[in-house]
Chains A and B, each alone.
Chain A
Amino acid sequence: MSVKETYLWHHFDDLEQQHEATSLGWWTFLATEVLIFGGLLTGYTVFRAHYPLDFAVASRHLNIVIAAVNTVVLLASSLTMALSVRSAQTGQRRQLLRCMILTAVLGTMFLVLKAVEYTEDYHENLVPWMAFRDSEWTSLGADPGHVKMFLMFYYILTGLHAVHLLIGIAVLAVMTELARRNWFSADYYTPIEAWGLYWHFVDIVWIFLLPLLYLVSTHAH
């Protein structure tokens, strides 16, 4: 058997058809992922439209510095992920391993910063079910219930995003080990490309969470 035949599943005609089927499958999966986050964002939109002032007051208490730094970190991880796929395409093994490890490290850095941010949120009484003082919000002219609503959207949206990133890092770690064992080549890199699609999708989700959660009313101080 030639090298190309070993990569080919028996139910496909050739590698190109196999590659395109995988690509289509991943785009289909991502379309369903759009609707998972889309459902939450629709709920967020409805409540923000009804309680704009409470959402603005609550959003102002989130840490914009960590959010901005994390955006840069995640965009950098998307760059190294794209370069990973490119290295796989050109068969540059050393660069492939370096880029994949760097991507996983940047993803982990995002999660560490997010954990620091959650801890800070706790110390600032921004956690509805653990640390929250109604009086702090009524003195600001906001309804505590509506503030809780915003904060719950914040935790569920960023939490679901963090879970996605955690899965992304775990699978990337396994793929890096496979790459180290020469599992992939310039003829066969479909899994890396598919995981790149997932990784970039998670990045896109964060791109929208930044303005929707953090940049609501930073101008009003």
Chain B
Amino acid sequence: MTKHITSEVTYYVIFAALIALTLLTVALSFVELGGGMHLIVGLVIATTKAVLVALFFMHLLYSNKLSWAMFLSGLFWLGILLAFTLADYLSRDVMSY
């Protein structure tokens, strides 16, 4: 049976990176960045953290192509949901409610 065992050190390093990114995103939220930068910065850091969790904690890095296909199709469907909904709502002038 093929199984990949990640070293304990790798898990601790990823954990340290996740904590550092959490402190960073909280700290940056108190800084005046202007415009819609806070949302972008918050989402970029969150996505980075999510990718680290998926690749290392969820072993996606060592998983077969089928698991990758399911992972990516989940994101693809979410993309369709967001893109088509927003294309509708954001192209209208005012909401009636």
List the interface of chain A (C-beta within 8 A of B). Answer: 14-16, 19-20, 23-24, 27-28, 30-32, 34-35, 38-39, 41-42, 45-46, 49-50, 64, 68, 71-72, 75-76, 78-79, 81-83, 86, 89-90, 187, 193, 196-197, 200-201, 203-204, 207-208, 210-212, 214-219
Nearest chain A CB to B77 CB, angstrom units: 6
Say yes or no: B38 contacts A217, CB within 8 Å.
Answer: yes
How far, in angstroms, from A200 to B8 measured CA to CA in the complex? 17
Q: Which of B11, B73, B82 contacts A31 (CB 8 A)?
A: B73
Q: A75-B22, A203-B57, A211-B43 are in contact. List 5 more A-B contacts (CB 8 A).
A: A23-B64, A30-B71, A49-B90, A82-B11, A86-B6
Taking CB atoms, residues of chain B closer than 8 Å to A50 are: 89, 95
Say yes or no: B38 contacts A78, CB within 8 Å.
Answer: no
Please report which residues of chain B, range 56-90, place their CB below 8 angstroms from some CB of chain A when the two chains form the complex.
56-59, 63-64, 66-67, 70-71, 73-75, 77-78, 81-82, 85-86, 89-90
Q: Which of B11, B43, B50 contacts A83 (CB 8 A)?
A: B11
Say yes or no: B38 contacts A215, CB within 8 Å.
Answer: yes
Q: List 5 A-B contacts (CB under 8 A).
A: A31-B70, A39-B81, A45-B86, A68-B22, A83-B11
Summed over the interface, the residue pairs from A and B with CB atoms below 8 Å come to a total of 147
Nearest chain A CB to B39 CB, angstrom units: 8
Say yes or no: B64 contacts A20, CB within 8 Å.
Answer: yes
Known A16-B2, A20-B66, A31-B73; judge A215-B53 contact (CB<8 A): no
Interface size grouping (class) on chain B? 35 or more
Main secondary structure of the interface of A (DSSP, over half): helix
Among A23, A49, A82, max chain B CB count under 10 A is at A82
Say yes or no: A79 contacts B12, CB within 8 Å.
Answer: yes
Say yes or no: A27 contacts B85, CB within 8 Å.
Answer: no
Taking CB atoms, residues of chain B closer than 8 Å to A187 are: 1
Among A34, A89, A187, max chain B CB count under 10 A is at A34
Taking CB atoms, residues of chain A closer than 8 Å to B86 are: 42, 45-46, 49
Known A35-B77, A86-B6, A218-B29; judge A42-B82 contact (CB<8 A): yes
Known A89-B5, A90-B5; judge A34-B78 contact (CB<8 A): yes
Taking CB atoms, residues of chain A closer than 8 Å to B33 are: 219
- For B84, the closest partner residue in chain A by CB is A42
